Chain A
Amino acid sequence: MAVARSRSKLVLDIGSYVVLIFLAFICIAPIVWTFLTSIKLEEDIVTRNMIYIPTRITFEHYVNLWNQSGYPVLVVNSLITTSVTVLICMLTGTIAAYSFSRFHFRGRTQLMLAYLIVRMFPAVLMIVPLFIVMRQVGLLDSSIGLAIAYTSFLLPLFVWMLKGFFDAAPKELESAARIDGTTRLGAMFRIVIPIARNGLLATAVFVGIAAWNEYLFALMLTTSQGSRTWPVGLQLMVGEFQLPWGMLAAGGIISILPVIVLFAFVQRAMVAGITAGAVKG
């Protein structure tokens, strides 16, 4: 009886591992394939028979990309746009999330729902009005303008996520701080934000990654090299008669590096923050 049970458990375990390894392969294979492509010789990339492992490793695609295509400018533009987006979200979203979490004002629920509704529309719907507004105020084709456009759909995400973290911080702590001598805003900055700092970090990283990878708005709202971000720049490398696979792959790898590095640094805090919000919220 016991043998039969342990055997069926073994089969179940093997089955689980097969499924999990298959799913992990589906997730990781494209990234590995992109990396391998980026270090292959040009003649190893477009071939009659598929060459999986590079015959010789080369970094010429990286060098070409960096020196010839203006890719550094794209990365810098992306960095500026992402930083400004995160900054705006942090400055306005933190106070908004705190207000939603702590004050029961008239129209609070409706306002929260309105924030959500913005996220339910397809992004394409918002692009035309945003384009007209940006042109009117002279922010078309600028990093700041693009960051403001990103804020329009990332701020609701930021506020909703952060509200969960603020809800998890006990209200009695602020009462204690107010009796101890702080104002409401002081209690927020001195007590609540330090408690919710993992959540704040997690939310900021979420928003940062979303802004870093965004393509559609960047394509529509930027027209010149001066403000274009890397996803658009990379796509524009695809010409009518040429498809520089090696450079595209190298661009892709460079672009995900900041995300990987950022995630490696903050993953512990992020996981702690996300689970804290999930369990207590």
Chain B
Amino acid sequence: MATLSIKGVRKSFGSVEVLHNIDLELEDGGFLVLLGPSGCGKSTLLSIIAGLEPSSGGDVVIGERTVNDIHPKDRNIAMVFQSYALYPTMSVRRNIGFGLEMRRVDTSSREDAIGRAADLLQISHLLDRKPGQLSGGQRQRVAMGRAIVRNPDLFLFDEPLSNLDAKLRVEMRTEIKRLHDRLGTSVVYVTHDQVEAMTLGTKVAVMKGGVIQQLADPQTIYEQPANMFVAGFIGSPTMNFLNGTLENQDGKLVLHHGEETLELSGVAKGASAYVGKKVVAGIRPETFSKGAGPSALTGIVDVVEPTGPDTMVVLDVGGQMISARLGSRERPHPGEPMTLSVDTTALNLFDPETGDRI
């Protein structure tokens, strides 16, 4: 187990800078998720931590060691790849034990370690097969077996679940969480799936264009996103952005959106500086409830999508589409008017110019 510090790491390919001054800290035994859309630099950052890609500047520190110039094999890390990267010519047993074989661990200790890892992942019956004879989920387990057998300081996962079908993905996600709880080894996990990030991470770094937009625990990222990108990237359906003007009405802050007026209570203190200016209100779909109130929006029902536990409603409010998650018993009909009240304590305001949270 070890801590991980990334200090001012940069990476350029020619004149294109893909990582700009990345700073990160991961506590011992923590689970850091690097989350972002394709091309945001998260996999490049992981490769730099692994030593597979040299950085153009900055330091990577694992435990007490600065590992910038240390070969991947000497960093005492283990990595699980998106394509699993199992050696196709070797049996599962040899795949799992390859790292130990390279470190000249004697055969009996190696067999013991392989057996323990296989038992933990319930793949003991597959040890003599070749990777080509395994299903996707089994390959995933073998890849994890290869990672845990060496007892590394740090686990690196590069989108390990993206090649699995939906059901297996959920199972393996639970498996990874269980494994992390049991082994307690620090993990850096790359994904573009926000559900994986929210469920697994103790810390989430949301990245865009080679810059970390926000680094915080999952709940903070969800409830207090640093900017509109993070707010829009996290949550499904995505957060509603309502354009409006902030006013002070009888000592209370209100948001005017067309003919609608939302009374704001519990929003950030800095908001008063924006009185008279345009702002963007970020409203999560689940903060709506049916019925009128001091902060309510009225619109025409556009689409109704029952999902089982919830009913998703798309409402046309003055030309702007708003998604709301309502109870499963709510079944409005498209075309009819509807009023939804908003829990403004969970509402975020953003500066429309910079996109930053107020």
Q: Which A residues are closer than 8 A to B by beta carbons? A: 170, 172-173, 175-183, 186, 191, 194-195
Contacts and interface: CB of A to CB of B under 8 A. Distances in A.
A186 B99 CA distance: 13
Given A194-B89, A195-B88, A178 B72 contact: yes
Most chain-B CB neighbours within 10 Å: which of A176, A178, A195?
Answer: A176
Interface stretch (B74-82, B115-123, B278-286, B311-319): B74-82
A193 to B, nearest CB: 10
Given A175-B50, A194-B89, A195-B88, A180 B83 contact: no
A181 B73 contact: yes
A177 B87 contact: yes
A191 to B, nearest CB: 6
A276 to B, nearest CB: 12
B72 A179 contact: yes
A262 B354 CA distance: 71
Give me the 4 closest cross-chain CB pairs, A-B, nearest first: A181-B102, A180-B99, A176-B85, A172-B85
A183 B51 CA distance: 12
Contacts of A194: 89
Given A179-B52, A180-B99, A181-B99, 19 more contacts: A172-B81, A172-B82, A172-B83, A175-B72, A175-B79, A175-B81, A176-B79, A176-B81, A177-B98, A178-B73, A179-B73, A179-B75, A180-B73, A180-B98, A181-B73, A181-B103, A183-B73, A191-B87, A191-B89
Interface string B81-111: 1110101110000000011001100000000
Contacts of B141: none
Contacts of B81: 172, 175-176
Contacts, number: 56
- In this complex, the interface size class of chain B, counting residues with CB under 8 Å from chain A, is 20 to 34
A194 B98 CA distance: 15
12 contacts: A170-B83, A175-B81, A176-B87, A178-B72, A179-B50, A179-B51, A180-B73, A180-B98, A181-B73, A181-B103, A182-B102, A186-B102
B87 A182 contact: no
A99 to B, nearest CB: 18
A184 to B, nearest CB: 10
A199 to B, nearest CB: 13
Nearest to B143: A176
Contacts of A172: 81-83, 85
Contacts of B103: 181
Nearest to B79: A179
